[in-house]
Amino acid sequence: DRVKIRTALLSVSDKTGIVELAKALAEQGVRLLSTGGTFKALAAAGLDVTDVSDVTGFPEIMDGRVKTLHPGVHGGLLAIRDDAEHVKALTEHKIGTIDLAVINLYPFEEVRAAGGDYPTTVENIDIGGPAMIRAAAKNHAYVTVIVDPQDYPQLIEALRTNDGETAYALRQRMAAKAYARTAAYDTMISNWFAEALDIEMPRYRTLGGVLSQEMRYGENPHQSAGFYLTGEKRPGVATAALLQGKQLSYNNINDTDAAYELVSEFPAEKGPACAIIKHANPCGVAIGSSLVEAYKRALACDSTSAFGGIIALNQTLDAATAEEIVKLFTEVIIAPDISEEAKAIIAKKPNLRLLSAGGLPDPRSRGLTAKTVSGGLLVQTRDNGMVEDLDLRVVTKRAPTDQELIDMKFAFKVAKHVKSNAVVYAKDGQTAGIGAGQMSRVDSARIAGLKAEEAAKAMGWAEPMTRGSAVASEAFLPFADGLLSMIAAGATAVIQPGGSMRDEEVIAAADEHGVAMVFTGMRHFRH
């Protein structure tokens, strides 16, 4: 299953490591063929290299759009070496076999990420490269294909130890990688088109990414896991810089994303905000006159659950806030930026993962989210609905006070980021109790109330914060029972989408208790 490499075709846009590889190949007596730019780089390094035009008898034309698309190249890559007909064709048409193809593609992803204009981006769609990669990979019984400069050392080592030959297993692995590469490449191109033409749900939705991190394990230790980057430039866990601490785990990444997306609902210019997350659900969210105050108020909601949590801030982490945070065991902090003093304080806790995101994501921006089901991919646009943009309708006799309205909106924003069924009590820009993920809305309302009572005990308050609070339900209240449970916890104002068959019944119960209720007309299920 070993194949001696006699002729190699090198055609690379990213020239990293190509001279070293070519030198190693030359040492093994391999004949080198190359395209224009790569040829120049190799010749400049003093290597003996043949221009592929000399092989095809055809010049590069149309600004390089056609360089290697020629039977002289593709015949050499695709010929079955022990098939008499194929060998005859090679001889008849004077085609030499190519045993190794080292190719990396026009930098489409980089040009797209750099915001290249339409024609520039289109011009960076590689045609001949993917064709050669696919041809070489198909013929992996005889041909070795290398698409990633990271694989050069492995190839050099294999050739040195095996007398210039490659093993079948290596060629197979590289072929698998090659098709993953061309698939990912075309995915990026089709996604760019979908974005440019504003097609949200094309018939073929391709999702793809490049592995940026392999974790020790997934959600559980017996699961393997990796983090793939899609190239979307949204500030957040995927693009943030890790300033200290170990690599993020699968659960850390999931929870940090939830935390940062939630805190980004509160724009920095409107004042400091903090969200503390456990298992992708918030256990406290608050705004404050300073960042440290926002943190303390978020923590007060459920300081027991906050242990080992993820903290997201909407402003630069400062020294005062860092001093408070290090008092408690925390897994991850993410903020748009970190002050030098804060970095020094956090450094005393070397295991604490500190992420600087460089900015806040725009909660109104569009994008896609996906999850897998067996045999399918569920894809939807991001939930970018904002309570500020909705026409709120007062449905009760009593209208909410100004403060109640502010608290309602705050609670509804948080509820959008809580697993359904979500019930969130809030008062003065601080969550007072959060009920998450229950199968019954009444249970979520009750649990939130109970947690608020526990928090009051822990903090030494006379009464739970839910007394005189506003409460949000992320989906409509199907019966009056949930509302009664909220009223029992002390809520005086309720915000919910409305639209239940029994809205009248629920409104009547609210009126009976003098509670103000507002309908948003928008639901925020989160499963």
Residues that bind ligand 5GP (CB under 6 A): 11-13, 35-38, 64-69, 103-106, 126-129
Q: How many CB atoms lie within 10 A of CB 199?
A: 12
Quote the CA–CA distance of 277 and 246 in Å, as a whole number: 19
The pair of three-digit structure tokens given for residue 273, joined into one six-digit string: 């905000």
Quote the CA–CA distance of 384 and 367 in Å, as a whole number: 9
Q: How many CB atoms lie within 10 A of CB 41?
A: 18
Measured from the CB atom, is 118 or 340 closer to ligand 5GP?
A: 118
Measured from the CB atom, is 11 or 121 closer to ligand 5GP?
A: 11
Measured from the CB atom, is 59 or 308 closer to ligand 5GP?
A: 59
Q: Measuring CA to CA, which residue among 13, 60, 158, 48 is closest to residue 100?
A: 158
The pair of three-digit structure tokens given for residue 230, joined into one six-digit string: 């899609």
Helix (H/G/I), strand (E/B), else coil: 469: strand
Q: C-alpha angle 21/26/28, rounded to 5°?
A: 100
The alpha carbon of 507 is separated from its chain's Cα centroid by a whole number of angstroms, namely 41
Describe the crossing of helices 18-27 and 36-44 by its angle, rounded to 10 degrees. Answer: 70
Measured from the CB atom, is 65 or 88 closer to ligand 5GP?
A: 65
Smallest gap, in angstroms, from Cβ of residue 296 to ligand 5GP? 55
Measured from the CB atom, is 99 or 261 closer to ligand 5GP?
A: 99
Smallest gap, in angstroms, from Cβ of residue 50 to ligand 5GP? 13
Residue 279 designated active-site: yes
Smallest gap, in angstroms, from Cβ of residue 104 to ligand 5GP? 6
Measured from the CB atom, is 65 or 94 closer to ligand 5GP?
A: 65
Smallest gap, in angstroms, from Cβ of residue 27 to ligand 5GP? 22
Smallest gap, in angstroms, from Cβ of residue 15 to ligand 5GP? 8
- Residue 430, phi then psi, degrees to nearest 5: -150, 135
Q: How far apart are the first and last CA of the chain?
A: 51
Is-contact 99 144, C-beta < 8 A?
yes
Q: Measuring CA to CA, which residue among 388, 369, 385 is closest to residue 377?
A: 369
Smallest gap, in angstroms, from Cβ of residue 103 to ligand 5GP? 5
Measured from the CB atom, is 105 or 312 closer to ligand 5GP?
A: 105
| Residue corresponding to tokens 């974005």 | 195
Is-contact 397 511, C-beta < 8 A?
yes
Measured from the CB atom, is 51 or 511 closer to ligand 5GP?
A: 51
Catalytic position from the list 86, 138, 177, 349: 138
Measured from the CB atom, is 52 or 507 closer to ligand 5GP?
A: 52
The pair of three-digit structure tokens given for residue 142, joined into one six-digit string: 């005889």
What does the buried/exposed string (b/e) look like for 231-270 if buried means 16 or more CB atoms within 10 Å of the residue's CB? Answer: bbebbbbbbbeeebbeebbbbbbbbbbbbbbbbbbbebee
* Residue 334, Cβ density class (10 Å: 0-12 exposed, 13-18 middle, ≥19 buried): buried
Smallest gap, in angstroms, from Cβ of residue 181 to ligand 5GP? 11
Catalytic position from the list 177, 279, 343, 513: 279
| Residue corresponding to tokens 């008898």 | 57
Smallest gap, in angstroms, from Cβ of residue 106 to ligand 5GP? 5
* Residue 273, Cβ density class (10 Å: 0-12 exposed, 13-18 middle, ≥19 buried): buried
* Residue 91, Cβ density class (10 Å: 0-12 exposed, 13-18 middle, ≥19 buried): exposed
The pair of three-digit structure tokens given for residue 293, joined into one six-digit string: 């105050």
Smallest gap, in angstroms, from Cβ of residue 8 to ligand 5GP? 13
Is-contact 9 102, C-beta < 8 A?
yes
Residue 86 designated active-site: no
Active site residue ranges:
138, 279
